[in-house]
Amino acid sequence: MSRAAQLRPVSELASLPVAIDAMGGDRAPQAIIEGARAAQDEGIDVVLVGVPELLGDTLGLEVVACSEVIAMDDDPAQSIRTKKDSSLVIAAELVRDGRACAMVSAGNTGATMGAALLRMGRLPKVIRPCIGAPIPRFDAPPAVLADAGANAECTPQMLLQFAQMAEAYVTARYGTARPSVGLLSIGEEATKGTPMVKETHQLLADSGLQFTGNVEGRDLIPSPVDVIVTDGFTGNVALKTLEGSLKFIMGVLGQVIGTDEETRAAGLTLLGHLMPYADKLNPDTTGGAMLLGLGGVCIISHGSSSATAITNATRVGRELAMAGAVEAIAAAVQTS
Amino acid sequence: MSRAAQLRPVSELASLPVAIDAMGGDRAPQAIIEGARAAQDEGIDVVLVGVPELLGDTLGLEVVACSEVIAMDDDPAQSIRTKKDSSLVIAAELVRDGRACAMVSAGNTGATMGAALLRMGRLPKVIRPCIGAPIPRFDAPPAVLADAGANAECTPQMLLQFAQMAEAYVTARYGTARPSVGLLSIGEEATKGTPMVKETHQLLADSGLQFTGNVEGRDLIPSPVDVIVTDGFTGNVALKTLEGSLKFIMGVLGQVIGTDEETRAAGLTLLGHLMPYADKLNPDTTGGAMLLGLGGVCIISHGSSSATAITNATRVGRELAMAGAVEAIAAAVQTS
């Protein structure tokens, strides 16, 4: 069982650093340290959590030492039980204990969720926390997909809360006044989908949220709504399908451009114009996903995070803490 | 309730035309008639089903007249009950009555499924028919996703049958000797996913199929397996996410290429090299999806089908009938 969350006021968070899991991610610890340093150079207080003898040069950075590492392929539930002195668990404890305003990890997602849930606790009334993942848009802030994979099995009541939490999150993160909410289904009509989805449709229609109805897989990018609600199984499959499709087509483009001298020159001509789009689609720039429903800010950066990804995730973690995101999410669920 | 299917031997199907719903699809009837004519020019016997006064010029084509049309946005269940003399229902009856070897429609997908199920009947032991949709690959025949949207709610036993039927279908359609089968989930491990997915994993592992384990959304394209099994809700969301992502990135490319004279010239240089890829990704070329588990061949072509799409779907319908696809699918389910 997770503990009850202890909410800290923004005034108390303001003086605290962002705790960064130095051991998590495919490019840890080098890329993480580099990203933390860049964040600090921007004026964001950071504290690295890691095993000192594995970290290398951390000159100028505050380090909280731990002795264990949860690997990317460790069993999440087991590893957080047995590796209590791991960087992930300690980072979550720093937030719990009022020693950090937020935590950032590019490590084992399941273990991050577990450690954050166990240490930070769940907000009152929240049935289950979920992952709010950004999906890039060119002409608007990213849309947020919730749940992007925390809960394979969901009830309509859980999905209603995902919508409420993601709505509050979008406002805290992007300043959107009254975010629109869509329900992922297999047709626009309220009668489409599983019984669970149909019941959720009704709950959302009655919720007071800016619910615009169902959206479909083809609406994921670019999304016509600010929040896309779904269960964690469908959300995970859809998000990975989106990522895989973009990667696939980029691979085709790369292959075609590499054909000969002429195509390479043509590719170079287009590259300058493509870059602004590619930048927006690059997961390193979106600043990571947030776990919604916990007693603190926990940012999950993707496994292959670069230093830039970590810097962006750290900035987002700090901004969300300062924006009172956790209090806003707690309030959104309270009113239901 | 659907009737029991009456299986017809290939020898009996050989002399029969393919029934083409002339009224179904965004570009009906013109594109449908044009596609039917091209199929006939290839030597494939066809029969158009449509409302004569709406068809225009059908010179040289056999037409079975009907008086009603099921619109793209008609309620599927209600329309097949009330519009018994619609082109969709009559096309399905031609297959049932041994007057056509297969049917093709680009019309209302739900109504096509309903009409085909009610008129052709379900194969023995089949719990629910499903949609087997092709997903392009460059270095191999398309992978088949089943269920791509017929059944929002599924049991593990249904998914096992989808796998068996899709395996037989892939062999009949592409000649693949022993198709590999993957289960769509949210992680590679057998322990990932909903209880339904985990139970299905076990059934597939024990099935005698060439089951290689779970695949994820990022594996949809290009697929490492010949058959991807999932429930119709997830399958529909994933397929539409894939289509939407590809369309999105093509739109970005088009916009970038249209920037100025220089980018247009560069785009032109790349176009010739991109075309073979684009052709393979174009749904018009894949020949449509097949309804698996019915007493006859029913090919669903996408709503925006061009004449080429209809010609390809007609050819595939004929080939599947000649390959004994329905008998093979019936046998695959019988052995379970």
Q: By percentage, how much of chain B surpasses pLDDT 90?
A: 90
Query: Cα dist. A211→A199, A219, A232, B128, B210 in Å?
Result: 14, 15, 20, 33, 44
Helix ranges (DSSP H) in chain A: 10-13, 30-41, 52-55, 76-82, 87-96, 109-120, 156-174, 195-205, 232-257, 261-281, 307-322, 325-334
What does residue A134 show for φ and ψ, rounded to 5 degrees? Answer: -75, 140
Looking at the partner chain, which of B195, B217, B259 has a beta carbon nearest the beta carbon of A241?
A: B217
Q: Check whether A3 has a pLDDT greater than 80.
A: no
**pLDDT at position A335:** 64
Average pLDDT rounded to a whole number, residues B63-83: 95
Q: In this predicted structure, what is the pLDDT of residue B2?
A: 57
Q: What pLDDT, on a 0 to 100 scale, did the predictor assign at position B335?
A: 64
For CATH 3.40.718.10, list the domain ranges present in chain A: 1-126+293-326, 135-283
Res A244: pLDDT: 95
pTM of the entire structure? Answer: 0.95
What DSSP string describes B231-248?
-HHHHHHHHHHHHHHHHH
Give, for A214, the enclosing helix (H) or strand (E): strand A210-215
> Is the confidence at residue B250, as pLDDT, over 60?
yes
Give the minimum alpha-carbon distance from A251 to chain B in angstroms, rounded to a whole number. Answer: 11
Q: Is the pLDDT of residue A203 over 60?
A: yes
Residue window 134-163, chain B: list those with CB within 8 Å of chain A: 149, 152-153
Hey, are the CB atoms on B234 and A234 less than 8 Å from each other? yes
CA atoms of A335 and A142, how far apart (whole Å): 26
Class (C level, CATH) for A1-126+293-326: alpha beta
Band of the pLDDT at A6, cuts 50, 70, 90?
A: confident
* Residue A152 binned pLDDT confidence (cut-offs 50, 70, 90): very high
Q: What is the tens place of the pLDDT at every residue in A79-109?
A: 999 999 999 999 999 999 999 999 999 999 9
pLDDT at B336 over 70: no
The mean pLDDT value of chain B amounts to 95
Q: Which residues on chain B are in Cβ contact (under 8 Å) with A185?
A: 233, 237
Considering chain B, tell me which residue range(s) the CATH 3.40.50.10950 domain(s) occupy: 1-126+293-336
- Under 8 Å CB pairs connecting chains A and B tally to 159
Closest CA to B300 of B215, B247, B236, B233: B236
Chain B residue numbers touching A195 (CB-CB < 8 A): 153
Find the mean pLDDT for residues A240-266. 93
Note the ipTM here: 0.94
Fold observed for domain B134-284: Isopropylmalate Dehydrogenase (3.40.718)
pLDDT tens digits, B6-65:
788 999 999 999 999 999 999 999 999 999 999 999 999 999 999 999 999 999 999 999
Instruction: Tell me which fold the domain B1-126+293-336 belongs to.
Output: Rossmann fold (3.40.50)
- pLDDT at position B3, please? 66
CATH 3.40.30.160 fits A135-283, yes or no: no
Tokens at A256, concatenated: 């075609």
Q: How far is CA B157 from the centre of its chain?
A: 22
Residue-wise pLDDT tens digits, B97-140: 999 999 999 999 999 999 999 999 999 999 999 999 999 999 99
Closest CA to B20 of B326, B315, B329, B293: B315
What six digits make up the tokens of B252?
């970005």
Cβ–Cβ gap A238/B236 under 8 Å: no
What is the per-residue pLDDT for B7?
84
Higher pLDDT residue, A287 or A135? A135
Interface of A with B in 194-253 (CB under 8 A): 194-195, 197, 216-222, 230, 232-234, 236-250, 252-253
Residue B1's pLDDT is 47
Show residues of chain A in contact with B148, CB under 8 Å. Answer: none
Is residue A186 over pLDDT 60?
A: yes
- What confidence score (pLDDT) does residue A334 get? 79
Cα atoms in the 13 Å half-sphere on the side-chain side of B64: 23
Start-end ranges of CATH 3.40.718.10 in chain B?
134-284
Question: Which residue, among B75, B159, B273, B274, would best test binding to A if mutated, counting the most A CBs under 10 Å from its CB?
Answer: B273
Per-residue model confidence (pLDDT) at position B286: 87
Mean pLDDT (chain A) is 95
Sign of CA dihedral A133, A165, B193, B146: negative
pLDDT, position A336: 54
Cα within 13 Å of Cα(A321), Cβ side: 31
pLDDT at B224 (0 to 100)? 98
pLDDT in tens, A15-55: 999 999 999 999 999 999 999 999 999 999 999 999 999 99
Q: For B191, name the nearest residue in chain A, comparing CA atoms only.
A: A75
Concatenate the DSSP letters of all residues of B94-147 into one string.
HHHTTS-SEEEE-S-HHHHHHHHHHHH-BPTT-SS-EEEEEE--SSSSPEEEE-
